Structure formats: C-alpha cells, structure tokens
C-alpha cells in the first residue's frame, strides 16, 4: 500500500490520533525546521511523527552527535518508522508524549534543545494537552524552541499561556494550509 494511502486510511480510522488527511508539504517542513539551530542542538524531540516527513528532515539536518527521540502512538506509523529509519542517533517510542520526561531520563537525557510537534491538539482532551505541554516545558532548555503546527488558531491561547514567547507563521501551500507556532520557554 502506498504511503499516502496508508496515511488516509489511518486518518479515517483514527481521527483522535491523526490530525491530517495528507502528509505535510515541503513548504511546511521547511518552516517547521527553520527555528531549530541544528549546528548546536544535541537533543531534539519529535512528537507525533506520523509517516516521518519531519523525522527524515530532522535526521538530514542534525549533526552527527545529536540524538533524536521520536514519539508516535499510532501503531502502524510507529512500526513503519522504526523499520524504515535505521539510524543509531534515533530512538523511537510507541508511547504518549506525556511520558517525555520519563523516557528521556531513562536514556540519560535531562533537557532538549528543540521539540518538533505535529500533535493534533484540537482532538485531545484538555488534560492531555496540558500534560504534554507541561512535560515539554520541563525538559526544554532555556534557549530551546518548541515548534508546533496546527490547522487552526485554537491552540494559540493555550501556547501563549504555557510559553513566554510565541510567534505565529502561516503556510498556505499545504493540504490543508497550516499555522506554525514557534515557542520559547
């Protein structure tokens, strides 16, 4: 089955986990990567990797000593990613991002330099959203960046409550068009 067909099938079967009907465009991918200092980042975390569009781009850009921790709860996407990507710098978790502290700590990591999130907050209960964002803030270093995309502005207020600085970007060249949040602790 082609990757785009798998994506569509997962969307219709798991609307509480999958927030998009199609993989992200290269325009969105580039805008999501732009705030990350890949030359200095030692630890990057990805939340909601889906089919790996951002994962593969992060791997291409990150330095050889950087570690990437990827969280994906969808079983099919997790299996595809962990079979497709064979890189010693990448650690995959088929776990909720709520467990980010425990999972990174178990790998000897105390903080992250960047967090890239594709989580569909619009479909998450408030408690889960808050747990995930609080966990992200607790492990993000003081100069780190949290980059999130959404298809609406409904996460804007919550992100402004959680982070000290939130800037907003937009890319119309995506299906659907997307808002990009760049957040600082």
Q: What is the pLDDT of residue 92?
A: 98
Q: How far is CA 45 from CA 12, 35, 58, 68, 132, in A?
A: 27, 14, 10, 6, 13
Cα–Cα distance, 26 to 9 (Å, whole number): 22
pLDDT > 70: what percent of the chain? 88
**Cβ proximity of 170 and 161 under 8 Å:** no
Domains of the chain: 25-87+98-184 (3.40.50.150)
Q: Kindly report which listed range (6-20, 113-127, 147-161) carries the lowest average pLDDT score.
A: 6-20
The average pLDDT across 135-164 equals 96
pLDDT at 20 over 70: no
The average pLDDT across 84-98 equals 97
| pTM for the structure as a whole | 0.88
pLDDT tens, 25-72? Answer: 889 999 999 999 999 999 999 999 999 999 999 999 999 999 999 999
């Amino acid at each position: 089955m082609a990757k785009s067909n798998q994506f569509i099938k997962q969307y219709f079967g798991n609307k509480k986990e999958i927030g998009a009907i199609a993989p992200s465009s290269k325009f969105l991918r580039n805008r999501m990567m732009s705030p990350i200092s890949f030359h200095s980042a030692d630890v990057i975390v990805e939340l909601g990797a889906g089919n790996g569009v951002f994962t593969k781009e992060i791997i291409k850009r990150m330095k050889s000593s950087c570690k990437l921790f990827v969280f994906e709860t969808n079983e099919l996407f997790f299996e595809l990613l962990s079979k497709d990507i064979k890189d010693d710098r990448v650690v995959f978790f088929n776990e909720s991002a709520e467990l980010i502290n425990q999972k990174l700590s178990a790998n000897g990591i105390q903080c992250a330099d960047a967090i890239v999130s594709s989580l569909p907050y619009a479909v998450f209960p408030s408690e889960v959203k808050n747990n995930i964002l609080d966990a992200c803030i607790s492990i993000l270093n003081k100069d780190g960046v949290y980059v999130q995309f959404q298809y609406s502005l409904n996460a804007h207020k919550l992100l402004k409550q959680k982070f000290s600085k939130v800037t907003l970007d937009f890319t119309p060249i995506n299906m659907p068009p997307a808002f990009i949040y760049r957040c600082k602790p």
